Amino acid sequence: MNNNSASLAEYRRKLRSKRIMLGVCLCILLAAAAVWRIAQGEWNIPLARVAELLSPSLPESERTAPEAIVVRLVRLPRFLAAVGTGGLLAVSGAVLQGVLVNPLAEPYTLGIAAGAAFGGALGFFFGSLAVMPMAFMGALAALWLVNMIAWKGGGGSSAYIVLAGIVTNAILSAGVTFLKAIADDKLGAIVLWLMGSLAGAAPLSAAMVWVGSAIVLVPAFILGRQLDAVSLGEGRGEALGVDERKLRLVLLCSSSIASALAVSYFGIIGFVGLVTPHILRLLIGPSHRQLLAFSFLAGGTLLAVADGAAQWLGELPVGVVTALVGGPFFCWILVSGRRTAK
């Protein structure tokens, strides 16, 4: 018994040290990404000058200078949008994987992103101002459809929610293909939006994705212990006194609303919410309160770096970069996990 207690204490100590080290590394990477994204570019601006331009006490006469406009209205909002969107998607992925007890669950596999894509593509037929609100409504409509199918088919169990998400994703993806086929001169704009890009990030859109991050992160963090119980398996949470259906409803809705905000502003950016929680579980364990905090930090850093790479490669859509890197990397994780299991 004493040996077991000592072993457990040693394991916890090592895990705590690993978390501290990972947190420090992620903060350093995020700071480096901030310097790269805000100070460097086609127009390199000295770091001291950047700090001066971002100061709240900057004289009004200097706020209209070209350097100030580039830093304050272009680079800073884009960086903040990347961090907020990446963190939001990673946290949403961690929440959905936990509450549905499925390692492949994320906003895109559940049809939420497909709903936003269909709504946004449809919005192009009514004018560019209709894209964002219709994408948001499309994501919420997809969530409603997934829950209705799951409830009618299997009483709302997590397995049926995932299956309903796959069916909904297939139907709405076909709808997007149909809209592209009849788009004519709007086809280019639709395809570019669907690829996902942060190039048009503005202070308002950056602020909104941070609001979306809070919408999913705050309730998930508060309910972290219940989420730990539910993630043990279907029915395990009920045995521990957790109302699984209520928890699932709250977290599905908050994750979907947050993801809908991100997709409606910046399009489809895949694999951040799928890969990031997997990597972090291997490093820091499955406890959701720690996992959620690290997921936000790691997801934000990942997307900020990916967006920098996309811009460096000639302003590619960042969704293309995350798919090209995330897809093969996730396949490697699956293959490595299977070999380890054997």
Contact yes or no for 58/52 (Cβ under 8 A): yes
- The tens digit of pLDDT for each residue in 272-299 reads 988 899 889 888 888 899 999 999 999 9
Q: Up-side HSE of residue 145: CA atoms within 13 Å toward CB? A: 22
Mean predicted lDDT score pLDDT of the chain: 86
pLDDT reading at 129 higher than 70: yes
Residue 137 lies in a domain: yes
Residue 201 lies in a domain: yes
Residue 291 lies in a domain: yes
Residue 1 lies in a domain: no
Residue 8 lies in a domain: no
Give the whole-angstrom CA distance, residue 4 versus residue 53: 57
Give the whole-angstrom CA distance, residue 176 versus residue 238: 39
CATH code, 85: 1.10.3470.10
Contact yes or no for 48/270 (Cβ under 8 A): no
Reported confidence tier of residue 331, pLDDT bands at 50, 70, 90: confident
Look up residue 70 and give its DSSP letter.
I
Residue 273 lies in a domain: yes
CB atoms within 10 A of CB 88: 32
Sign of CA dihedral 328, 332, 338, 341: negative
Residue 13 lies in a domain: no
Give the whole-angstrom CA distance, residue 273 versus residue 251: 15
Most confident among 12-16, 39-43, 101-105, 214-218 (mean pLDDT): 214-218
- pLDDT of the residue at 119: 92
- pLDDT of the residue at 234: 66
**In terms of residue numbers, what domain contains 259?**
19-52+62-341
Q: How many domains are there within the chain? A: 1
- The tens digit of pLDDT for each residue in 185-208 reads 888 888 888 888 898 899 999 999
pLDDT reading at 3 higher than 70: no
- pLDDT of the residue at 337: 57
Residue 242 lies in a domain: yes
Per-residue buried b or exposed e for 48-83, using 16+ beta carbons within 10 Å of the residue's own CB: eebebbeeeeeeeeeeeeeebebbbeebbbbbbbbb
